[in-house]
Amino acid sequence: EISACLVGSEMCIRDRSRALKFIIVVAFMTAIGPVLAAIYLAREQGLATEFERVTSYAQSVADRSDRAVDQMVAAIDALVAANNDDPCSDTMLTQMRQLGISMEFMKVAGAVSGERMLCSTLGSHEEGLALGPPDSVTPNGTQLRLNAPVPFSSETPYISLERDGFIAMAHRNQAVDLMVNQEGVLFATFDPTTGNIRTGSSEVRPRWANAVDNATEAAFVDEGYIVGVVRSGQVNVTGAIAAVPARYLDERILTFIWVLLPIGVVTAIVLTSSVIYFARLQVSLPTQIRQGLRRNEFYLEYQPVVDLNSGNWVGAEALVRWRRRDGRVMQPDEFIPVAEHSGLIGLLTERVIEVAGKDMGTTLRDAPDFFLTINLSARDLQSGGTLEKLMVMARDSGARPGQIVAELTERMLVDASAAKSVIKAMREQGLRVAIDDFGTGYCSLSYLETMQFDCLKIDRLFVEAIDTEAATNRVVLHIINMARTLDMKLIAEGVETEAQANYLKSQGVEFAQGWLFSRAIAPDEFLKGLA
Ligand code: C2E
Ligand code: MG
Ligand code: MG
């Protein structure tokens, strides 16, 4: 569609601007797509990394909190196990001190009676230290205080566990005193059953604790923080929260962008330039064909047509080639359709006839039975000038018109009445007409009867099917019989094996061409072969 537009008809201009819009849209998408993808990936990567970090922070807090609880329980167990009648005896006080020194989190151990601490790691407390009522009591009777009073340390809040007349305390913030190399990170522990914050920064939002209602861990972004929440799996008595300011996420994303964006940009450049390259190639192909014609870049190769009975070369098919300026040779399937759409096929056919006359003129004159077939396109029939040019070529080279065979394809016969009159005119002038690629188009049989071809070329498709199980392998017989009925000569195309040649010969097919005999070859090589 894009290449169709060279002639300045109104339809073509519309097609062309539509194609251009399409190319612009595709190019825009290939330019913007990879860049957006890179940014998206960087964000996803950044989030994943920060989520992982913040959950591992929260996990550390939970672990430390669990360890503190374990130590407090261990201290109480040790004191209970001592089984001393006097819980504040010297031996007991020594043991309390040893416990306080040997444990990392458990700082103060003591003996309690009726909400008063009688003695502790810190010595004897005369009439006792008022502890106040517990904040909560666990099913096994352990009393939890979130703000246990400790002498000499009224500023530092302690958390305590009390059971069987003994109490153990740990510095409340020690579990959440995590050293991390980021600033402004919030930590907290909470009671997973109630969701109440126990210790930690006051900026921690209580609702964050709810994130692990149905899970053991969660990570999300909320109110300028990347938040990680975990529930301690070990004892399920502690939940922990860590929250990193969201600006660290932006930094992280930025570092990923530095890696991914260049890849995205390079991909975009490669994709977009290939879109533009191929689009230009397509859009400008007609222009290039025009230039190619001017620079004589089109030449012909000839494929021999062989008499199946004698094995002699009795004719040739002219097949056009295009040697580009860069040396690359383009096959007709790549440019004939473009030339047809862009209205250049007339000029191309003219050139083909001209070159064929130069290459084969002498041969045609010297061998009056030798014939040359030339492929035509639909437009060549409409213009009418083609007949004239073929006649001039025959005359100039001193050949009989009957030595020139015009190859038409079924697709060209759609406009039946126009085709019919041209074919009639050609035959009246003595030229011969062949139907090419028979069986691959949509020719109705009645066309064949009314149009009077001299020759039918059996398409490669049916020749290939000989000796196979394919359904097409029987069609070839019908084609042969029909051609015979309509008094047409037969040329089988694309004969590649001895078996195909023998079969066709046994069925009375006169001529064949194909790689079994020869490929299309340069004219001088052809003339040598013919000699
Ligand atoms: P076509 O007229 O049916 O030409 C036969 C094609 O089959 C040629 O391809 C030829 O090289 C190929 N061929 C020959 N023997 C064998 C074989 O044994 N096995 C196989 N696999 N292929 C074989 P080519 O040269 O690429 O031409 C393709 C088509 O381009 C032609 O099909 C014809 O329709 C068109 N064409 C070629 N030259 C011209 C021209 O000058 N003018 C126009 N309008 N069309 C042309
Ligand atoms: Mg042909
Ligand atoms: Mg053919």
For residue 338 and ligand 1, the question of a CB distance below 6 A is answered with no
- In degrees, to the nearest 5, what angle opens at C-alpha 145 toward C-alphas 139 and 150? 145
Give the mutation target among 322, 375, 519 for probing the ligand 1 site: most ligand atoms within 8 A of CB: 375
Q: Atom of ligand 1 at shortest distance to CA of 496?
A: 18
Give the mutation target among 313, 317, 319, 516 for probing the ligand 1 site: most ligand atoms within 8 A of CB: 319
pLDDT at position 1 is 39
Burial-class residue 62 by CB neighbours within 10 Å (0-12, 13-18, 19+): buried
Measured by CA distance, the residue closest to atom 25 of ligand 1 is: 319
Measured by CA distance, the residue closest to atom 19 of ligand 1 is: 494
Q: Which residues of 349-386 are buried (b: 16+ CB within 10 A; e: fewer)?
A: bbbbbbbbbebbbebbbebeebbbbbbbbbbbbebeeb
Beta-carbon count within 10 A of 52 CB: 12
Asked if residues 458 and 492 have their Cβ atoms less than 8 Å apart, the reply is yes
45 closest CA partner among 269, 268, 272, 263: 263
pLDDT at position 10 is 40
Phi/psi for 102 (5° steps) reads -80, -20
Taking only the tens place, the pLDDT of each residue in 184-231 is 899 999 888 888 888 888 889 999 998 887 778 899 999 899 999 998
> What separation in Å is there between the alpha carbon of 380 and the centre of ligand 1?
18
How many CA atoms does the CB half-sphere of 22 hold within 13 Å?
Answer: 11
Give the mean pLDDT of 301-329.
96
Measured by CA distance, the residue closest to atom 43 of ligand 1 is: 375
Measured by CA distance, the residue closest to atom 45 of ligand 1 is: 375
For residue 515 and ligand 1, the question of a CB distance below 6 A is answered with yes
Distance in angstroms (rounded) separating the CA atoms of residues 266 and 272: 10
Residue 484: pLDDT band by 50, 70, 90 thresholds?
A: very high
pLDDT at position 92 is 95
Please indicate whether residue 429 or residue 147 has the higher confidence score (pLDDT): 429
Q: Give one DSSP letter per residue of 436-497, joined into a string.
A: EEETSS---HHHHHHH--SEEEE-HHHHHHTTS-SGGGGHHHHHHHHHHHTT-EEEE----S
**Which range, 60-64, 329-333, 382-386, 414-418, has the best average confidence (pLDDT)?**
329-333
Give the mean pLDDT of 387-392.
95
Give the mean pLDDT of 432-455.
82
> What separation in Å is there between the alpha carbon of 319 and the centre of ligand 1?
6
Q: Residue 446 pLDDT > 50, yes or no?
A: yes
Q: Residue 374 pLDDT > 90, yes or no?
A: yes
Residue 8: pLDDT band by 50, 70, 90 thresholds?
A: very low
> What separation in Å is there between the alpha carbon of 290 and the centre of ligand 1?
22
242 closest CA partner among 227, 257, 255: 227
For residue 330 and ligand 1, the question of a CB distance below 6 A is answered with no
For residue 333 and ligand 1, the question of a CB distance below 6 A is answered with yes
> What separation in Å is there between the alpha carbon of 396 and the centre of ligand 2?
24
pLDDT at position 9 is 40
For residue 334 and ligand 1, the question of a CB distance below 6 A is answered with no
Measured by CA distance, the residue closest to atom 13 of ligand 1 is: 494
Single pTM value for the model: 0.57
> What separation in Å is there between the alpha carbon of 319 and the centre of ligand 2?
8
Closest ligand to residue 352's CA: 1
For residue 437 and ligand 1, the question of a CB distance below 6 A is answered with yes
Asked if residues 143 and 162 have their Cβ atoms less than 8 Å apart, the reply is yes
Please indicate whether residue 209 or residue 303 has the higher confidence score (pLDDT): 303
For residue 520 and ligand 1, the question of a CB distance below 6 A is answered with yes
Taking only the tens place, the pLDDT of each residue in 435-445 is 998 878 766 67
Q: Residue 381 pLDDT > 90, yes or no?
A: no
Q: Atom of ligand 1 at shortest distance to CA of 459?
A: 3
For residue 375 and ligand 1, the question of a CB distance below 6 A is answered with yes
Q: Atom of ligand 1 at shortest distance to CA of 352?
A: 41
Measured by CA distance, the residue closest to atom 33 of ligand 1 is: 375
pLDDT at position 19 is 72
